[in-house]
């Protein structure tokens, strides 16, 4: 009988022609069914005839497929075979879709997604709770002005009077904390850069906001341990909540070290250039803003080339933040410093 079949077909155990090895395996896995009288309703596994546009009903007796596709146009009173197996033309309406398997896979992904979201939510709640405890455990920043006054007296620094020096402020913010006016003491973007930068070999990625730098000066003595950094984060949030951005900038400029023994912008402007902070040129202001990161390494008296390179970085940041054009930055870099 095999010789009379078209090429590519062969018979399965039930006598149906198969078109592939996969179909043969599927056919072999199906229990042979004994033909019964379509009108008899007493035989197990009887498929009732379709009525209207509905699928045929399957009477108990063997497990009913959980999902079937029935082609009414094809007719016939037997269900289609497993996937890959087709009945004789005109009797079966196509393959059975293994929908439950696909649905199970989808449900697994939903469960995995729910678990991931639950873990993330638990982590956020834990971090929020931990940070709340940290805010309670750390000291208040209500004495920040008193701390600034005490440090200025200790270092014989002169406090700023009048308006803030615009050029120094713009250069400092562009270089040290470009999102100073939009964050609330800590900058998540800067924090990520501060972690990733050293891993990539770039130590100039920052991470600490001006608020964090100020509380490091006032409350943690400049220490850089992990415990101190965590405390500085909480104190920076408290500082930003209590004081205006102008107050924070003024306190910062009155206490930060500019190298060569000069604490505060007033002492640095007078010591390096013989000027007041508000009369500094762009060339002088950008040089001083670059000293904050490493005052000894960029000391213009001892390391003028390094100080000039750092000044170039400050000018690049001012161009990137829109305070200067490239032509203006080039001209400023070429102007003399007029150091004392």
Domain ranges of the chain: 1-97, 138-334
Please check whether residue 17 is in contact with residue 79, taking contact to mean a CB–CB distance below 8 angstroms. Answer: no
Q: pTM for the complete prediction? A: 0.62
Res 130: pLDDT: 60
For residue 155, count other CB atoms closer than 10 A to its CB: 14
Look up residue 263 and give its two tokens: 């604490």
- 17, 10 in Cβ contact below 8 A? yes
pLDDT, position 116: 84
pLDDT in tens, the chain (340 residues): 445 655 556 666 666 665 556 555 555 555 555 554 555 544 444 445 555 555 555 455 555 555 444 444 444 455 555 544 444 444 444 444 445 556 677 788 888 888 888 777 777 776 666 656 666 667 788 999 999 999 999 999 999 988 999 999 999 999 999 999 999 998 887 666 655 555 555 545 556 899 999 999 999 876 667 777 788 888 999 999 999 999 999 999 999 999 999 999 999 999 999 999 999 999 999 999 999 999 999 999 999 999 999 999 999 999 999 999 999 999 999 999 999 9
Q: Report d(CA 296, CA 292) in Å as an integer.
A: 9
Residues in Cβ contact with 135 at an 8 Å cutoff, skipping those fewer than 6 apart: 234, 237, 238
* The pLDDT of residue 318: 97
pLDDT attached to residue 33? 54
Indicate the fold that domain 138-334 takes in CATH: Penicillin binding protein transpeptidase fold (1.10.3810)
Q: What is the pLDDT of residue 199?
A: 57
For position 255, what pLDDT does the model report? 95
Cα–Cα dist 35/71, whole Å? 21
Beta-ladder partners of 11: 17
């Amino acid at each position: 009988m095999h010789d009379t079949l078209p090429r590519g077909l062969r018979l399965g155990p039930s006598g149906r022609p198969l078109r592939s090895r996969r179909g043969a395996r599927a056919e072999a896995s199906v229990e042979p069914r004994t033909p019964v009288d379509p009108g008899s309703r007493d035989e197990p596994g009887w498929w009732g005839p379709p009525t209207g546009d509905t699928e045929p009903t399957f009477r108990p007796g063997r497990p009913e497929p959980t999902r079937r596709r029935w082609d009414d146009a094809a007719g016939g009173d037997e269900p289609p075979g497993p996937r890959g197996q087709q009945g004789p033309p005109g009797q079966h309406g196509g393959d059975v879709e293994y929908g439950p398997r696909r649905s199970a896979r989808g449900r697994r992904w939903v469960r995995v997604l729910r678990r991931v979201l639950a873990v993330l939510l638990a982590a956020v709640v834990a971090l929020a709770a931990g940070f709340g405890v940290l805010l309670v455990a750390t000291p208040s920043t209500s004495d920040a002005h008193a701390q600034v006054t005490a440090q200025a007296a200790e270092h014989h620094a002169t406090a700023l009077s009048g308006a803030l020096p615009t050029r120094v402020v713009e250069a400092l913010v562009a270089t040290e904390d470009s999102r100073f006016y939009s964050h609330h003491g800590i900058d998540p973007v800067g924090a990520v850069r501060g972690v990733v930068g050293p891993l990539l070999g770039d130590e100039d990625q920052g991470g600490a906001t001006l608020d964090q730098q100020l509380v490091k000066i006032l409350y943690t003595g400049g220490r850089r341990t992990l415990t101190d950094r965590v405390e500085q984060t909480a104190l920076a949030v408290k500082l930003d909540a209590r004081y205006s951005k102008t107050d924070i900038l003024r306190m910062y400029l009155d206490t930060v070290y500019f190298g060569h023994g000069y604490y505060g912008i007033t002492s640095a402007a007078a010591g390096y250039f013989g000027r007041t902070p508000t009369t500094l040129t762009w060339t002088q202001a950008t040089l001083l803003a670059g000293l904050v990161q490493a005052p000894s390494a960029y000391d213009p008296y001892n390391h003028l080339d390094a100080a000039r390179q750092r000044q170039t970085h400050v000018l690049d940041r001012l161009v990137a933040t829109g305070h200067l054009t490239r032509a203006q930055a080039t001209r400023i870099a070429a102007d003399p410093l007029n150091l004392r």
